[in-house]
Amino acid sequence: MKILFITDLYPIKSEEKTTPRTLFNFVKSWKNFGHEIEIIKPNFLLNSFIRRKPFYKNGIYDGVLNLNYQTPFWFDINRKIRTGITNFSPKNYDLVIAHMPCGILFADRLGVPFVAGVHNSDLTILTNQLYRFHFKKRMENALKNAKAIACRSFALKEKLLKIYPEFEEKTFVAPSGIDENLIKENIEKFSTPKIKIVTCANYKKYKNIELVLTATKAIEGIELMIIGKGTDTKKLKNLNSHAKFLGYQPKEKVLDLMRQNDVFILPSKGETFGMVYLEAMASGCITICSEHDGIDGIIKNGENGFTDVPSVTEIKNILNHIKNMTQNERKLLIQNGFQTIRQYTADKCAQDYLQQIFKVM
């Protein structure tokens, strides 16, 4: 099958640190399945600057056609694409999949059936008053025109259908999956008197790391490790002098540290999905996320991890509950986590994505 994949959330070079590789991993699996994939990256320059993404000139880079624009799609899209893809016609593809606002609005201009991959940023356009005069209407029309809507998490699907229940029949969930080789089941957990807790994220407000620091300060018998970087390091350190701040760490080191810890917690709000939660579960950590957000729906409260309301009190309650659990109760949670994570490997999620599209269309 020949697939046209359109998104600005795609790394052009492997060393890019500001572009997640979640969509890249879908494409990688599809190629391994034998599908032919062509990628267009419509890059709105102002958005690129705000998100501090690396700049590339118009052109093809390792199979990715990068198209810069200064105004949102006020030009002849087909003509511009032909500067990189000779004899381009969207009708030459069996399937067109578009992710993120840039990708979805771009695909809607092509005039062919397409699948819209919805992220948290799409929901922001549909709900934030800042976008009500222009982008909201265009996004609504694009989602109406889409033949199928792939929400990147169960929480996003729930939020989208609460606003637009008329999309229910064509909407499904397309979560990311983890490299099966990262699943490590034979790791001893809770082997010391102290419970070892880790969190990993850039220091952004919506990650709510300060809540974790404040909550854990008042609990005896735990150790807290913070992995990540940001401008508020000094402020965060003042919240809990006992926490260990390791700064930025490469992925392999992060995975190694997760395997050394017992509990992973990140009470983010406004998370599209969060691969770090899957990595924590694959490392044998009891994993805690925010309810109705990100990975909620994969993590089921009290069964294979915990979901919480992002508050100091709620975090303290869950951590104290884990402290008071028996070792067998903890092992059962961890084992349930492994059973869950084996249903969310990269190849399985990529295959399920295509099957869901065919089911809807």
CA angle 223, 228, 231 (to 5 degrees): 115
CA distances from 127 to 124, 160, 172, 176 (A): 5, 10, 20, 24
- pLDDT at residue 75, rounded to an integer: 60
Q: How open is the CA angle 342-209-272, to the nearest 5 degrees?
A: 45
Other CB atoms within 10 Å distance of the CB of residue 194: 12
Length of the chain: 361
pLDDT at 289: 94
The pLDDT value recorded for residue 76 is: 67
pLDDT, residue 132, reads 78
As a 3-state breakdown, the chain gives helix, strand, coil percent values, each rounded to 5, of 45, 20, 35
Contact 199, 264 (CB under 8 A): yes
Say if strands 95-99 and 115-118 run parallel, antiparallel, or are unpaired: parallel
pTM: 0.90
CA distance 60 to 181: 32
pLDDT by 10-residue block (mean), the chain, 361 residues? 94 80 94 95 78 82 87 66 77 93 91 94 89 85 97 95 97 95 91 94 86 92 91 84 91 95 92 90 96 90 93 94 95 96 96 95 81
